[in-house]
Amino acid sequence: MNNEDLVAELLRWNYVKSERVKEAFLAVDRKNFIPEKYRDKAYYDDPLPIGYNQTISAPSMVATMLELLEIEEKDKILEIGTGSGYNACLLAALGERVITIERIPQLRDFAKKNMEKCEYREKVLVLLGDGSEGYEAEAPYDKIIVTCGAPDIPDSLIKQLKDGGRLVIPVGGTFFQELYVVEKEGEKIKKRVWGDVAFVPMIGKHGHRWA
C-alpha cells in the first residue's frame, strides 16, 4: 500500500468528500509522520502510537474533521495538539497559515523533524506550551481545530474565532468525547454534535488535570 491507496480508501468510504481535502491528503504522505517501528501500518485506517502515551489519529478521523472545518485558501488556522505534525501539514496544504501548539517538548521536536519533508512547512508555526486557552497573540482565527479531548468548550477559543469562523473540538471525558462543530455568527454561537469520538485528553489550565 502507498499514500495514494490510503486516499482511495478514504474516498471510497466517503470520509474524504471534497476535491480540496483529497488534494491535501495526496500531497502529504502519512508515512513521514509515523515512528519507524510502525511505518508498515502507515496506510491503514488506524490510530498509531507516537510515544509519550499519545497517538496520531486514524486517517478517517482526520479527514472527517478537515471536511467539517471547510477550510478556505486564505484561512488562518489554530491547531491544539500538534502530535506528529501530520494534521498540521494537511491544514497548511488547505489554508494560508497554521499555528499549532504542543505541550510535550519531545513531540514538538518529533513534529518539526517530520515536517521537514512537508512542502508546506513554511506556513506552519509550531509552538510549545499549553494550548487549552488558545493562542491570543495570533488571534483571531478563521478556523480552530482541537485534536485532544477537552472537558468543555473554552470561552477563550470562541473569543479567538473570527466572526463567521468555525471550531471543531472533542468534548467530554478523558477516554470518550463528542465531536462539536461550533460556528460564530456575530453574537450568536451555533453548536452541533457530529458524533462520538475517542481522543487522548487535553491536559492543561482549561483541560483535564491528569494524563
Does the protein bind ligand SAH through residue 3 (CB under 6 A)? no
Dihedral, CA of residue 185, residue 199, residue 70 and residue 154, to nearest 10:
20
Q: Which of 198, 196, 186, 181 has the alpha carbon at shortest distance from 143?
A: 181
CB nearer to ligand SAH: pick between 164 and 176: 176
Which residues, 6 or more positions from 30, have their beta carbon under 8 angstroms from its beta carbon?
3, 6, 42, 43, 59, 86
Please state the φ and ψ torsions of residue 73, each to the nearest 5 degrees.
Answer: -50, -35
Take residue 150 and report the three cell numbers written for it: 477537552
Per-residue contact flags (x/-) with ligand SAH for residues 77 to 106, judged by CB under 6 A? ---xx-xx-xx-------------xxxx--
CB nearer to ligand SAH: pick between 106 and 164: 106
Kindly identify the residues of this chain, within the stretch 27-86, that bind ligand SAH according to CB under 6 A.
54-57, 80-81, 83-84, 86
CB nearer to ligand SAH: pick between 57 and 186: 57
Does the protein bind ligand SAH through residue 165 (CB under 6 A)? no
